[in-house]
Amino acid sequence: MKSQYEIKHPLHLSTMIGMSAYLVGQLLLIYSTFTRNGFNPLFYFVVILLVFSLTITVYLILRRLAKPSEIRMLEKTMNVRGHEVHAKNVDCIMIDGYFQPVVGIRPKGRKIVPVQFTFSFHVSGNDDEAMKALKGWAEQNKIQIYNRKFLRWI
């Protein structure tokens, strides 16, 4: 069984849809505020929020389009994007979704899965094989696997 697979950052579709709706709302607020009152402190505050939201949306898109990185599963450790994770430091592995599942490796003592340990397998025909290898690694190291949504950083 292969122990090295390509991974990508997950597609944060719900976050991008929410940010897009927020951007549209902010643009409407900027337009109505500017046409009624001209430039005022609220106008500048809304523009700052708009730029921040646009930056997050562009960041998510660019990160998803980035070149795939890799995950290596060894006997007692796992190397995810250059970050080594020891099996004894892993609290659980969570899988969110079915068709293109997002995997999160939650370290012990953490409530939210860190960005570097959140990924989806790169679709190249071997994502089922990669998921089986991940589940086998978890079973071998006695790590719980949960199929549910989980908190993660952007």
**In this structure, are strands 4-8 and 69-73 parallel, antiparallel, or unpaired?**
antiparallel
pLDDT at position 69: 87
Average pLDDT over residues 6-15: 81
Q: How many helices (H) and strands (E) does the chain have?
A: 3, 8
pLDDT at position 146: 92
Binning the chain into helix, strand and coil, the percentages to the nearest 5 are 45, 25, 30
Among 110, 82, 74, 76, which residue's Cα sits nearest to residue 94?
Answer: 110
Give the integer Cα–Cα distance in Å for 44 and 85.
Answer: 44
Give the integer Cα–Cα distance in Å for 152 and 154.
Answer: 7
Q: Does position 42 have pLDDT exceeding 80, yes or no?
A: no
Share of the chain above pLDDT 70, in %: 92
pLDDT at position 138: 92
Give the integer Cα–Cα distance in Å for 71 and 117.
Answer: 10
